[in-house]
A = this chain, B = another copy of it.
Amino acid sequence: MRIGILTAGGDCPGLNAVIRSVVHRAVTNYGDEVIGFEDGYAGLLDGRYRTLDLNAVSGILSRGGTILGSSRLERARFRAACDNAKELIEKSGFDALIPIGGEGTLTAAKMLSDAGVPVVGVPKTIDNDISSTDRTFGFDTAVGVATEAMDRLKTTAESHQRVMVVEVMGRHAGWIALESGMAGGAHGICLPERPFDPADLVKMVEERFARGKKFAVICVAEGAHPADGTMNYGKGAIDQFGHERFQGIGTALAFELESRLGKEAKPVILGHVQRGGTPTAYDRVLATRFGWHAVEAVHRGDFGHMTALRGTDIVMAPLAEAVTELKTVPKDRMDEAESVF
Measured CB to CB, the residues of A under 8 A from B are 10-11, 13, 24-25, 28, 54, 58, 61-66, 69-70, 134-135, 140, 143-149, 151-160, 164, 179-180, 182-185, 211, 213, 232-233, 235, 237-241, 245, 247, 252, 255, 259, 266-269, 271-273, 275-278, 280-282, 284-285, 288-289, 292-293, 310-312, 336, 338
Contact = CB atoms under 8 A, between A and B. Distances in A.
Contacts of A285: 143, 179, 182-183
The 6 tightest CB contacts between A and B, nearest first, are: A152-B277, A64-B155, A65-B155, A11-B159, A156-B276, A152-B276
A275 B65 CA distance: 26
Of the candidates A134, A145, A271, the one having the most CB atoms from chain B within 10 angstroms of its own CB is A271
Given A65-B156, A285-B182, A237 B245 contact: yes
Contact of A311 (B152, B156, B164, B310): B310
A180 B285 CA distance: 8
A182 B288 contact: yes
Number of copies: 4
A9 to B, nearest CB: 10
Given A63-B155, A146-B281, A232-B241, 8 more contacts: A11-B155, A11-B156, A61-B185, A64-B155, A147-B284, A266-B272, A280-B282, A292-B336
B284 A182 contact: yes
A237 B235 contact: no
A167 B28 CA distance: 26
A276 B338 contact: no
A145 to B, nearest CB: 7
Contact of A140 (B54, B213, B240, B282): B282
A155 B277 contact: yes
Nearest to A279: B183
Given A238-B237, A240-B247, A25 B145 contact: no
B237 A233 contact: no
A72 to B, nearest CB: 10
Contact of A281 (B164, B179, B312): B179
